[in-house]
Structure formats: C-alpha cells, structure tokens
Amino acid sequence: MTVLQIISKAASILRTGFAKLQWVDIYAVISIGIAAVILQWLYIYVQVRRQVRGLSTVHSLIEVFESGSRSQLPHIPFVCPINDFTINDPWKKYADRRTDLIACTQMTTPYAVYVTSSSSTSQIISAKSSVFVKPTEMFRYRAINIFGLVITSAQTGPEHRRHKQVVKACFSESVMKSVWENMTNAFEMMLREEGGLDIGGIVTDLKTVMIKLTLVVFCKTGFNLDIPWIIPRTDGKEMPFMEALQTVEKSIVSQLLVPLWILQFFPLASVRRMGQAQVDFKAHLYKMYHKKRAELQCLEEDFKLCDEKMKPPTDIYGALVHSQMNHEAEEKLKDPENKSKIVGLTEKEIIGNMWIFLVAGQVFISMKSFLALYPDWQEKLHQEITSVCGDSMPTYNDINQLPLCLAACYETVRLRDIVMTLPKMTKEDTVLPYTTWDDQGNISHHTHSVKKGSHVIIDSPAASRNPYQWKNPMVWDPTRFLDKENNARFTGFSIGARQCIGKRFAEVEMVAYISRLIKLFKLYPVKEEHESDQYLIERMLWSIEELTTTPSHWSMRLERR
C-alpha cells in the first residue's frame, strides 16, 4: 500500500467516525479541549504565583513592564496596572514597597519577572553571564534585527563573542580621533546653518537640531560621507542614500514596530514613503558593503606588493568590513580546506550591525537641559576647559584632562538613561540577593530562589536613583563621577560582558560636543509666554519612552562668551 493510499484510508476512517458523532458530542469534545487548556494555563499561573511568595508583587493580565511602549498604555487595574510601575518616577515603586526587588506575575507569560533597582545585584547578574542570558525571543530584540542579527540582540556566549570580535575593531583609537574631529566640524556646520549662531542666538526646537547634528556626525564617522545640513527631498523611484537614511532615522519607531509590508502598502503616501526608505536604505548598505570590500581588497594587494601592512580605515563601515576580511584571512590560514564554515559575521549581520549604530544620540539634548538650568555648573566646566586649553579649542588629545566634562555626560545619562531596562533570562535555577528597609531606613538583607526560565530585569533608571546607593540621587551633581566607586555601580551603559561596545564612542562624541559648546557659549533656557520657573523645568526635563527615553522639544538661547 502506498503512502497516498494510507492517507486516503485514514481520512475515510475519520470521516466515518465524525459522521457517527452527534453535534452534542462534538461540542462536548471541544469544551473538554478548551477546559484542558484553561486548566493548564491556570496551573502554570498558580505555579508562578507560588514562585514569588514572600516578595512585593505587581500582578497583571498582560506583559507590561517589559513592553517597549509601556508609557503609552492605559492604566487598567489587574489587567494593565501601568500606574503601579511609576514609569515617570522609577524609584517610587521601590520606596513605596520598601524593597529593591519586585516580582511581576503576568497571566499571559509562563514565567515570573523580577525587577531589581540594586546596583550591587546588577553587578552580580552581569558577572554571571552563563546563568543570566539575554532573552532574545523578546519583541524588542527581534524587532532590531530587521536588517540582520546585531550584536545587541546576539545571545550571550559564542554568538555574542563572534559579533564582538569583529565589531570591536570599529572603535579603535584612530576611529575615536575621527569621531572628535567630525563632531567639531558638525558643530561648526550647526552654528552656520542655524541662522548664524556663531555669534549667539536662539536655537528653536533643540531636539530637531540635535538629531541633524548626530546624523551629520554619523554619516561622516560611519561612512566617510559629507551630507548637507538640510537634505533635499526627491520624488524618484529610489531614494538617495542620505534621504533614505534621514527618513529611516525620523521614523525609527515605526520602522521597528510595523512590518515592512504594511508600510509599503498603507493607504497614506507618507507611510508608504517610510517603507520605501527602509528598502532603499538596505539596498544602499549592501551596495556600499560590496564597494568597500572591493576597495579594501585592492588596497591590500597594493600594500602586499610594497611589503607593508595596511592601516584599518577610520570610518566605522570601513573598519567593520576590514575587520571581517581579517578574520576570514586568519581562518583561511588555519584551515585552508574548510570553505563552508561561517567566519566572523555574515554579510547580513554586517549590514545589521551598521544599522544599529544609528539608534543613538538623544543624550545631548538632556545634557543641554541640565546645563541650561544650572549656570553654576556651566562655569565650573568652563574653568576646567580653560585651564587645560587656554585660548585654544579642545582637541582629542585633551579628553583625558577633562574629567568634569565626562562626568557631566555620565551624570546626565544617570538621570536621563536612554535605555529603560536591561532584561535577562535565567538559564538555570539560581538565587537573587535583595534588601528591605523599615521606616527608620534600617536595611535587612535577603535572598530569593529564582527558577530556570524566569526573567530578571535590571531597572537602570531606578537603580540610578536608589538613595541607598547614591547620595542625593535627584540632584544633578557631576562630581559624583569623579569617584571611581560611583563609576563601578553605574548601569547606564550596562555592565559586565554585555557592556555597551560603543561606550567609548559615546564618551568621545559627548565630550567633544559639550567642551566646545561651553568653551564658546553660555546657555539659557527660553521661557514660553506666562510660563512659571517650575513648569519650565518640568518641560525641559520631561521625556517619553519610545524605544529609548526621548527628550521633549524646547528652545535655548546661546550667548557668546
């Protein structure tokens, strides 16, 4: 009997069986099936509730705390209790419960979620990278892989190391020096293009201006491309690279959250334009990759003829491609016969990693808001810059002599952390330390057993406001980061093996910008009509959670020193 005959016979038997069943019997079978699913679901939820006994808890129907759009969700008790998570005041939920560890149970997920605001516990979690791994199945990590797997979403272990070995070459000393130079040139472009700000004036809509600035720096540092301050719009079938890049950057939330086919076929032309930008941007990246690879191969051949070693490119894309080629060459020397093994990164992963470097830059706006609100700190930074540089402009060689400028950057990230949470997943049963305290502030230390498969979240904004680990946590005081002990407990760039690989890039970019700004100008916030001082402060420091913490729109006056 053939396979086709067997299938036909089985189908005949099933049809005969169903024909003999009464509708009542069919409904009974379906009801039993549904009841079994519900009972299993309830059993799992009860087990999760048992796992978190003894801890302060927040119960909900759906996944809330780990959601990238949680601040836009409505508060519905027991279903979506968003107010219980005190998003706008991250430390409040811990202060109310007098503990730095909170358990969240969600009826839609078969695991417990533990949220910690302790820097010391965060260090333990980050140090045990084989126990606390990245939950790569989370939507936030799947979403950023639209162009290819990136280092941010790579699983802890061999996969992450494979990415890191190639990507780390993008942040060499020569690249860092070019970052400083490119920021300096972009700063001068900003002053010229924004109505002659070189003599002072008002910057309206600072957020938009800073996005333009970071885009200019990104294009020059990333691709060695000079772009205009205002990128012209075209109506052709294919967007030029600069236009596609700008459109993707402006619509980055939609690009990550909405499937490409919806963007491409949406009724509104403005939305379809987003889809076109994504397709064209990706196509440009692939073309640039192949062109860069061919250029570097030709250069390497020329250097070999001269018996010299080629220096790595100083643009990030070039450095990334060059690093990949080096890994391939090294592996070929080790094993000339193995042609099927994946070495370093795939072409798609290189494109993906180049894309992810674009998702950054908002910290500049927050730093300006703090400096504009605290003119005394402007003067302290100016004194440091003048004592090091005299009448000259700061250069990359001065960066290590400007510790207060770097500390101001860190302090801004502490209070306006652009990364909301750092989620982990337990690969095995383990324990979490935590503390509780009474009305007098007396601390007690405890541990809690955590089951395999649980999610553990480092609540970075709350950890940075923990009064038991930071003195006067709500005061913007850059000098706290002149203390190495505070640097060790800082989670703004993550910690441990998964620390942000672009941390040095961010440091150089921020110090280059802020040192030049303060050297040349005094900063003053611009009030709206009939606006009180308190409302001005709230408006300048207000931010919204999207994929990252995004500052609001406001204006600032620059006064030439």
Annotated binding site for heme: 500
Terminal C-alpha separation, the chain: 94
Q: Are 382 and 405 in contact (CB under 8 A)?
A: no
Dihedral over alpha carbons 345, 351, 352, 354 (to 10 degrees): 100
How far apart CA 312 and CA 44 sit, in angstroms, is 54
Long-range (24+ apart) CB contacts under 8 A made by 93-97 are 93/58, 93/462, 94/462, 94/466, 97/56
Distance CA 159, CA 168 (A): 14
On the 0-12 / 13-18 / 19+ scale of CB atoms within 10 A, 35 is exposed
In angstroms, the CA 107 to CA 111 distance is 9
| Residue 209 near residue 187 (C-beta atoms within 8 A) | no
At residue 426, φ and ψ (nearest 5 deg) are -80, 130
Residue 151 corresponds to which tokens in the numbers above? 């280092």
- Is residue 385 within 8 A of residue 402, CB to CB? The reply is yes
* Residue 137 and residue 461 in contact, taking contact as beta carbons nearer than 8 Å: no
| Cβ–Cβ < 8 Å for 544, 71 | yes
Alpha-carbon distance 287 to 220, whole Å? 17
* CA-closest candidate to residue 356, choices 138, 151, 134: 151
| Strand duo 56-60 + 101-106: pairing | parallel
What is the rounded CA–CA span in Å between residue 45 and residue 54? 16
Amino acid letter, residue 358 = L
Phi, psi for residue 422 in degrees, rounded to 5:
-120, 95
DSSP bridge pairs for 168: none
Task: Tell me if residue 98 falls in helix, strand or coil.
Answer: coil
Name the one residue in this structure whose structure tokens are 């045990």: 128
DSSP H helical segments within 224-307, as ranges?
Answer: 241-250, 252-257, 260-265, 269-305
Question: Which of the 8 DSSP states describes residue 99?
Answer: B
CA distance 274 to 551: 23
Annotated binding residues: 500
Number of neighbouring beta carbons within 10 Å of residue 306: 8
Instruction: Name the DSSP letter for residue 73.
Output: S
Both tokens of residue 341? 């093994």
Concatenate the DSSP letters of all residues of 448-471 into one string.
EEE-TT-EEEE-HHHHTT-TTTSS
Rounded distance between C-alpha atoms, residue 377 and residue 372, angstroms: 9
Q: Which residues contact 484 (CB under 8 A, 6 or more apart)?
A: none
CA atoms within 13 A on the CB side of 1: 8
